[in-house]
Amino acid sequence: MDNYQASASRNEQFKGIHLDVEPYEHEQYEEHMDDFIKRYQSMMIEFSTQSEKLGIEFGIDIPFWFYGVMYDNPYGTGNVAEWLCQIVKSITIMAYRDTAAGDNSIISISTKEMDLFAQYNVKGTIAVETGRLADEYKFVTFYEENLKYMNQQLSMVYEHYESHPAFNGIAIHHYDSWLKMK
C-alpha cells in the first residue's frame, strides 16, 4: 500500500481503511477465544500503525456485544471494546435489530459502546441490517419490513443520538437489499 499511495495521484489515493473482521465467526473461536482475541488485537495495532504512517483514517466494525468480551493477555486486561477505543478512532457498531427503542433494540444495544466512544473521542456509527436472514433472526434485520417502517425506526435512532458527542451517523448493511425494499 505504501508504494501505491506514493505513486498514485492525490485524487486516486486511499483516504482510509475500514475493516470488518469477525474472529468470533471462526468455528474454533469458542475453544481458542483468548488466542483469537490476541491475534485480533495484533491485527488492529498493525492496521492502526499502517494507517497512521500513511496519514489515512482507520475504521472498523464491531458487534454491539464486544463491550462484554474480556481479555487478559500481553495487551493488558479489560474489555475488547474499550481497548479498541484506544487504538481506533472510527468504529461502526453492528446494532442489528429491527426496532429503534425498547428492550433489545438498536438504541439499547448501542448505548454502552456509544458512551465508551464519547469517553475516548471515537466517532461512532450505528449500523443496521437489511439482508435476508434465517427465520429465527428476523428481529435482527429490516428485510421483512418496508422502507417506510425502517426509515421511521432510523429517524428515532437519529433523534436519540443526534446530540451525542460520539455519533457519526447511521450505516446500512447490504446496499442491494436496501435498494430492493418497498
Q: What secondary structure, in 3-state letters, does the chain show? A: CHHHHHHCCHHHCCCEEEECCCHHHCCCCCCCHHHHHHHHHHHHHHHHHHHHHHCCEEEEEEEHHHHHCEEEECCEEEEHHHHHHHHCCEEEEECCCCCCCCCCCHHHHHHHHHHHHHHCCCEEEEEEECCCCCHHHHHHECCCCCHHHHHHHHHHHHHHHCCCCCEEEEEEECHHHHHHCC
Q: Which CB contacts under 8 angstroms, 24+ apart, belong to 80-84?
A: 80/37, 80/40, 80/41, 81/112, 81/113, 81/116, 82/116, 82/120, 83/41, 84/44, 84/60
Give me the amino acid identity at 156.
Answer: M
Q: Residue 91, exposed/middle/buried by CB under 10 A (0-12, 13-18, 19+)? A: buried
Q: What is the pLDDT of residues 32-82, one digit of tens each?
A: 999 999 999 999 999 999 999 999 999 999 999 999 999 999 999 999 999
Q: What is the pLDDT of residues 145-154, one digit of tens each?
A: 999 999 999 9
Q: What is the pLDDT of residues 115-139, one digit of tens each?
A: 999 999 999 999 999 999 999 999 9
Range of the domain at 66: 16-174
| 107 domain-assigned | yes
**Residues 70, 36: Cα–Cα separation, whole Å:** 12
| 182 domain-assigned | no
- Provide the number of structural domains found in the chain: 1
Q: What is the pLDDT of residues 77-106, one digit of tens each?
A: 999 999 999 999 999 999 999 999 999 999
Q: Give the CATH number, domain containing residue 92.
A: 3.80.30
| 170 domain-assigned | yes
Using the CB atoms, write b or e for 126-150: b if 16+ within 10 Å: bbbbbeeeeeeeeebbbbebeeeeb
pLDDT confidence of residue 19: 97
| 1 domain-assigned | no
| 70 domain-assigned | yes
